[in-house]
Amino acid sequence: MLRLVLFLLGVVALATGLSWLADRPGLIGFNWEGYEGEISVFHAVVAFTLLLGMAMFIWSLIRSVWIGPAVLGRYFFRRRQKRGLDALSSGMIAIGAGDKANAMRYAVQARKTLPNEPLTHLLRAQAAQLTGDKATSRRIFESMLAQPDTEQLGLRGLFLEAQREGETEAARQFAERALTLNPQLAWSAEALFDLQCKQGDWPGALTSLASAKKHGHVEKQVADRRRAVLLTAQAQGLEDSDSEKAMSLAMEAHGLAPGLVPAAAIASRLLAARGNTSKAAKII
């Protein structure tokens, strides 16, 4: 609306100016290189306006030719980017639906149009997983480790691949690297803790638990319970070889979780062996 009003005002101003000139006739004389002549003021203004308009048109034409390749390049770039984003969106939908054929088709299209997009790598890896091509998916996840913006994603994918294949040690290394890279990752903290518990690495599990509690991955009550269980497991392994250390661990575990029967049993048994039956009875 504003543009229309400005255009009408411009037309009115131009018409008014031309009318003003038409009502005030006059002549302009010139002498140039031996040529003499006269022209009315009205015609001179009209000619100057036409020349100015022609000059602006020629400049616009030259400018269009000069910047044309860049404009054309930006057009094709935006078009290619849109096709790539559409392929990514459709590919993710196909992955979620379990559509192997379309997932692979869109993954190939996304690779052609957006080869450096992190989501393209993820789509290709998940499409390979969907089709059972484990070697390709692992290779893609490994290539992600070279870039800082995709390293965490690659570690997550390699961890899941190793876990599916039963490669416990490799899975643990990937989880440790991910946690070192970003302590805020909840999946790596939980995964590392579970693997350490399965391998009987109680000191390592205690360290992972403390880190998880520090970064808010585990609530305090749950963390205390887990620590008590880990301390009890340590005490159970040391009960015959180092009773002093075993009793210290069992007592700490009992303090953290009074309802944990194994901790109470170990602590009371070691206390009774020392002749401190009253304290042992109190624990029980």
pLDDT digit string (tens) for 189-213? 899 989 999 888 888 898 888 888 8
> With left for phi above 0 and alpha for psi between -120 and 50, is residue 122 left, alpha or beta?
alpha
Q: Check whether 284 has a pLDDT greater than 70.
A: no
Q: Check whether 222 has a pLDDT greater than 80.
A: yes
Q: Vertex 225, ends 196 and 241: CA angle to 5°?
A: 60
How far is Cα of residue 273 from the mean position of the Cα atoms in its chain?
A: 58
User: Of 153, 149, 237, 141, whose CA–CA distance to 187 is shortest?
Assistant: 153
Angstrom distances, CA of residue 56 to CA of 43, 49, 52? 20, 11, 6
* Six-digit token string for 93: 């939908």
Q: What is the mean pLDDT of residues 9-17?
A: 73
Contact present, 150 and 178 (Cβ < 8 Å): no
Residue 133's pLDDT is: 84
Can you tell me the distance from the alpha carbon of 146 to that of 31, in angstroms, rounded to the nearest whole number?
A: 77
Higher-scoring residue by pLDDT: 278, 269: 269
Contact present, 174 and 159 (Cβ < 8 Å): yes
Residue 12's pLDDT is: 75
What is the pTM for the complete model shown? Answer: 0.64
HSE, side-chain direction, 13 A CA sphere, residue 166: 0
For the chain, give the longest Cα–Cα distance.
Answer: 135
Residue 113's pLDDT is: 85
Contact present, 100 and 133 (Cβ < 8 Å): no
pLDDT digits (tens, 9 = 90+) for 28-80: 666 766 677 777 666 767 777 788 888 888 888 888 778 767 777 787 778 88
Contact present, 183 and 208 (Cβ < 8 Å): no
What proportion of the chain, given as a percentage, has pLDDT over 90? 4
Q: Check whether 275 has a pLDDT greater than 80.
A: no
* Six-digit token string for 8: 């009408």
Residue 173's pLDDT is: 92
How far is Cα of residue 218 from the mean position of the Cα atoms in its chain?
A: 24
In sequence order, the 6+-apart residues with CB closer than 8 A to the CB of 156 are: 178, 187, 188
Higher-scoring residue by pLDDT: 152, 16: 152
pLDDT, averaged across the chain: 82
The dihedral through the CA atoms of 30, 36, 38, 39 has a sign that is: negative
Angstrom distances, CA of residue 203 to CA of 16, 190, 206, 246? 93, 15, 5, 14
pLDDT digits (tens, 9 = 90+) for 232-243: 888 888 877 777
Q: What is the mean pLDDT of residues 116-129?
A: 84
